Amino acid sequence: EVQLVQSGAEVKKPGESLKISCKCSGYSFMSFWIGWVRQMPGKGLEWMGSIYPEDSDTRYSPSLQGQVTISVDKPISTAYLQWSSLKASDTATYYCARRYGDPTILAYAFDVWGQGTVVTVSS
């Protein structure tokens, strides 16, 4: 069974750093892009970026470029999303998801999602 298991809820202060994780199992971790999706309280889904574990090729949303870093640890099949200096506006639920699809027709979807990590940033 394909599973993406995320790290637990976090409560942080503005200016602190944070790294959340997404442990992947049940498939070839190297072969599928992993995406991160933000959902602010009461709002919709927003793609933040994606990473290809085999070569760590990473793409970011232009609106979030430079504000977060996406990485992987290949031996433990885990993807990460990290901040160096959190802001109150980073309060949200963050999901990781596996990208599945047909590259010959550029048709992709996020077929398996993690359970979400709630991040609260407050002084």
Partner 1 sequence: SYELTQPPSVSVSPGQTASITCSGDKLGGKSACWYQQRPGQSPVLVIYQDTKRPSGIPERFSGSNSGNTATLTIGGTRAMDEADYYCQAWDSSAAAVFGTGTKVTVL
Q: By the criterion CB under 8 A, which residues form the site for partner 1? A: 35, 37, 44-47, 50, 59, 61-62, 95, 97, 100-102, 105-111, 113-116
Closest approach, Cβ 16 to partner 1, in A, equals 26
Q: Is the separation of the CB atoms in 111 and 87 below 8 Å?
A: no
CA 113 to chain centroid, in Å, comes to 10
Output 27 or 47, the one with its CB closest to partner 1: 47
Residue in the structure block whose two tokens are 């699809």: 101
- Looking at the Cβ atoms of 17 and 45, the one nearer to partner 1 is 45
Smallest distance from the beta carbon of 5 to partner 1, in angstroms?
A: 12
Q: How far is the CB of 72 from partner 1 (least distance, A)?
A: 18
Tokens of 24: 């992947």
CB of 36 to partner 1, least distance (A): 10
Residue 18 or residue 101: which is nearer to partner 1 going by CB? 101
Token pair belonging to 32? 């599928």
Distance between CA 57 and CA 17 in Å, rounded?
23
Chain centroid, CA 41 distance in Å: 17
In the structure encoding, which two tokens stand for residue 115, read together? 């359970």
CB nearer partner 1, residue 102 or residue 123: 102
